[in-house]
Amino acid sequence: MKLNSPLQVYKYLPQINCAECGDATCMAFAAHLIDRSKKLDDCPPILKDEYKKKYLELQALLAPEIREITIGTGEHAKRIGGDDVLYRHQLTFFDPTAFAYDVWDTMPEAEFLERINRIANFRKFYVGKFLKVDMVAVRCVSGDPLKFAGAVKKASETTKLPLILCSFDPAALKSALEVVRDKNPLLYAATEKNWGEVAELALNYKVPVVLFSPDLDKLKSLALSFREMGIKDLVLDPGTYPQGKKLKETFEKFIMLRRAGIKEGQKDIAYPIMAVPLNAWLVYKDAVTASYWETVLSSVFTVRYGDIMILHSLEPYAMLPEVHIRDTIYTDPRTPVKVAPGVNEVGSPTKDSPVIVTTNFALTYYTVESDLSSNKINCYLAAVDTDGIGVEAAVAGGQLTAAKINDTFQKANFDFKDKTSHGTLILPGLAARLQGDVEDVTGLRVMIGPPDSGRIPGWMEKSWPPKPK
């Protein structure tokens, strides 16, 4: 965005401090616009006609350096691009890389449907949410526009995920667009050869489109030309070479494009970038090797500026690291990763339920909490305020101590005599060395749980309820 202080934004706001946006003052709201935690439309007064000019001006000034485009419709629609910085610590990255997995029009129907469902149903629990994948890329392998359209139709009936229509043949793209014209799919791709006809499709059907050329002069040429024709929702594919010096060149192209867009403000190429890690399969035939290498490529381009990518392997050992590295890079470094300290109920605990201690580091807390609830273990779970540090480091660093544990229960008015029949507290295995201290400070009986909360169910079977003294 072109503004960098709340004061600059403030000039454009109504300056009436009506607080309708949820902030007490326009200046406070301005600060949220700068850090992008709120949107201009959150201020109702500025939407009125009298402010129209300022609204439009400010909207243009607040627009991210990299164009933000939307693929798909409804709740599964995905935004890509939208970035303002080259390094995540400078603000945060926006719009996590969209992962599309492929299907193709020559697949037997049952396989085709099964594959789409696997893509749509993939989920991995992490820090209070599920990591998922985003899109289905339908490839035209048959070369037959009707067959392709049939596959696209089937895909759109099977899933609400956004679709990418992949063919270099405008006739195939056209017949597919006919069946999903109201679904805002992404067209792949316009090239030096077919650009005129693909541009026509993008205009007529009002859909976003990928431009493909490994030659950056040509890629820019395509982008300029499409923009001139009034097509703004563009994605750039500079070609993903899967190997060797050509892969190094691909890596360099991603850096060049993004640097030009963000650091040098070259609007002509400031569009989302597409990577195709699937190309690993063009050089490696063995499924494990290809899946590994595809995951490697996917990670490289998640870290360095890929906004959307097309992938093939549905092996869990490929998808799990892929969704985790994306979360790693796109997690907002400004957000504290803590949960509120306190004693929480998991399920519906009774007097005989265990009382378990962990830290308020969000990752630890949610991991333990989900391990418990997923295994239907009713209990009390205490989040001790360790400044958001995990168990092992907090024991070493003195943030998790007997006094702090005792404090947590007292502040929560949790009386063991009242709430439990057993007067027992369970420490994490990694905090075993606090056992004596905690017994002394709390006067409770203290048991040591397993070092990983994933093993609590097994531990419960062996060790709970505690044997009478």
Partner 1 sequence: MTKKIKLSELGNLFGGLDVQALEGVKIEGDVEIDLGQMGMNPQMAYALGHETAQLALHLMNISRILGYPVDQMLGASPAKPARLTKLIESKFSVGKIEEWKTPIQEVVLGATSSDGGTRKSTITLGGETALPYYFDSPMPHRNHITMDVFDMPINMAKAVKSNYEDVINSPAEWAKKVVRDFGADMVTIHLISTDPNIKDTSPAEAAKTVEEVLQAVDVPIVIGGSGNPEKDPAVLEKAAEVAEGERCLLASASLNLDYARIAEAAKKYNHVVLSWTQLEINAQKELNRKLMKQCNVARENILMDPTTAALGYGLDYAYTNMERMRLAGLSGDAELNFPMSSGTTNAWGAREAWMVSSPLKEDSDWGPREYRGPIWEIITGLTLSLAGNDLFMMMHPTAVQVLKEITQTLYGGKESEPVNIDNWVGAVL
Positions 81 through 100 that interact with partner 1 (CB under 8 A): 87-89
Q: Least distance in Å: CB of 125 to partner 1?
A: 5
Identity of the residue, 16 or 224, whose beta carbon is nearer to ligand SF4 in the bound complex: 16
Among 7, 18, 146, 283, binds ligand SF4 (CB under 6 A): 18
Q: Is 387 an interacting residue with respect to partner 1 (CB under 8 A)?
A: no
Q: Least distance in Å: CB of 52 to ligand SF4?
A: 14
Q: Is 153 an interacting residue with respect to partner 1 (CB under 8 A)?
A: no
Between CA 359 and CA 391 the distance in angstroms is 6
Identity of the residue, 32 or 174, whose beta carbon is nearer to ligand SF4 in the bound complex: 32
HEC string for the chain: CCCCCHHHHHCCCCCCCCCCCCCCCHHHHHHHHHCCCCCHHHCCHHHCHHHHHHHHHHHHHHCCCCCEEEECCHHHCEEEECCCCCCHHHCCCCCCCEEEEEEECCCCHHHHHHHHHHHHHCCEEECCEEECCCEEEEECCCCCHHHHHHHHHHHHHHCCCCEEEECCCHHHHHHHHHHCCCCCCEEEEECCCCHHHHHHHHHHHCCCEEEECCCHHHHHHHHHHHHHCCCCCEEEECCCCCCHHHHHHHHHHHHHHHHHHHCCCCHHHCCCEEECHHHHHHHCCCHHHHHHHHHHHHHHHHHCCCCEEEECCCCHHHHHHHHHHHHHHHCCCCCCCECCCEEEEECCCCCCCCEEEEECEHHHHHHHHHHHHHCCCCEEEEEECCCCCCHHHHHHHCCCCHHHHHHHHHHCCCCHHHHCCCCEEEECHHHHHHHHHHHHHHCCEEEECCCCHHHHHHHHHHHCCCCCC
Positions 46 through 85 that interact with ligand SF4 (CB under 6 A): 46
Identity of the residue, 48 or 246, whose beta carbon is nearer to ligand SF4 in the bound complex: 48
Among 1, 45, 320, 337, binds ligand SF4 (CB under 6 A): 45
Q: Is 8 an interacting residue with respect to ligand SF4 (CB under 6 A)?
A: no
Among 1, 3, 8, 23, binds ligand SF4 (CB under 6 A): 23
Q: Count residues near partner 1 (CB under 8 A).
A: 103
Among 7, 16, 146, 255, binds ligand SF4 (CB under 6 A): 16
Q: Is 3 an interacting residue with respect to ligand SF4 (CB under 6 A)?
A: no
Q: Least distance in Å: CB of 35 to ligand SF4?
A: 15
Among 64, 72, 170, 239, binds partner 1 (CB under 8 A): 239
Q: Is 41 an interacting residue with respect to ligand SF4 (CB under 6 A)?
A: no
User: Which partner in partner 1, ligand SF4, none is near 234 (CB below 5 to 8 A by kind)?
Assistant: none
Positions 162 through 201 that interact with partner 1 (CB under 8 A): 166-168, 188, 191-192, 195-196, 199-200
Identity of the residue, 35 or 352, whose beta carbon is nearer to ligand SF4 in the bound complex: 35
Identity of the residue, 226 or 416, whose beta carbon is nearer to partner 1 in the bound complex: 226
Q: Is 17 an interacting residue with respect to ligand SF4 (CB under 6 A)?
A: yes
Tell me whether the omega of the peptide bond preceding residue 110 falls within 30 degrees of 0, making it cis. no
Q: CA distances (Å), 365 to each of 125, 312, 349, 415, in order?
A: 13, 34, 18, 22
Q: Least distance in Å: CB of 100 to partner 1?
A: 13
Identity of the residue, 25 or 225, whose beta carbon is nearer to ligand SF4 in the bound complex: 25
Q: Is 335 an interacting residue with respect to partner 1 (CB under 8 A)?
A: no
User: Which partner in partner 1, ligand SF4, none is near 20 (CB below 5 to 8 A by kind)?
Assistant: ligand SF4
Q: Is 21 an interacting residue with respect to ligand SF4 (CB under 6 A)?
A: yes
Among the candidate windows 17-25, 204-212, 262-270, 315-323, which touches ligand SF4 by CB under 6 A?
A: 17-25
Half-sphere exposure (Cβ direction) of 244: Cα atoms closer than 13 Å: 2
Binding mask of the shown chain, residues 277 to 316, with x at each position contacting partner 1 by CB under 8 A: -xx-xxx----x---xx-xx--xx--xx-------x--xx
Between CA 49 and CA 67 the distance in angstroms is 26
Which positions touch ligand SF4 (CB under 6 A)? 13-14, 16-21, 23, 26, 29, 43-46
